[in-house]
Amino acid sequence: MDVKELQRLTLPKLRDFAKQETDLKGVIGMEKEELIKAIAHAKGIAYEVSAKDRSAIHAIKQDIRGLKKQKAEILAATPDRKKLKRIHRKIKLLKRLTRDLAHETKTAAAAKAAQPAQPAAPAQTPPAAG
């Protein structure tokens, strides 16, 4: 099983999988991404954190859908060219923004993959109190 398959599972199925296949504790209180990361770590699956801000892209796409509804309403009522042009321009800019965010994500992921892994710093123990 890889990370993509884990992401396709629902949260209850992920919790069941974590309980059956791993010895993770506290899976009930974990969010989906946190649980996927924990399962991947426990199973030794390579997990790369996505730099893509899904919530930002999702919000932009919802705005686009709302603008398209407005456009349909204007067309149904009276086709006002100025309003249609303004809405079309907003939609175009928002689509460009989503593509730019996706491109930034790809380049950030590629840069992170090309960067060599840095060794973890050794844990320092506090001096013994005497």
Rounded to two decimals, the pTM is 0.47
Kindly report, residue by residue over 23-37, the tens digit of the pLDDT: 888 888 888 888 888
How far CA 13 is from CA of 7, 17, 105, 111, in Å, comes to 11, 6, 28, 33
Domain layout of the chain by residue ranges:
3-43, 54-111
Kindly report, residue by residue over 34-75, the tens digit of the pLDDT: 888 888 888 888 777 654 556 778 888 999 999 999 999 999
Give the model's confidence band at 101: pLDDT under 50 very low, under 70 low, under 90 confident, else very high: confident
Q: pLDDT value at position 7? A: 82
Q: pLDDT value at position 73? A: 93
Q: DSSP string spanning 74-120?
A: HHHH---HHHHHHHHHHHHHHHHHHHHHHHHHHHHHHHHHHSPPPPP
Q: 78 versus 50: which is more confidently predicted?
A: 78
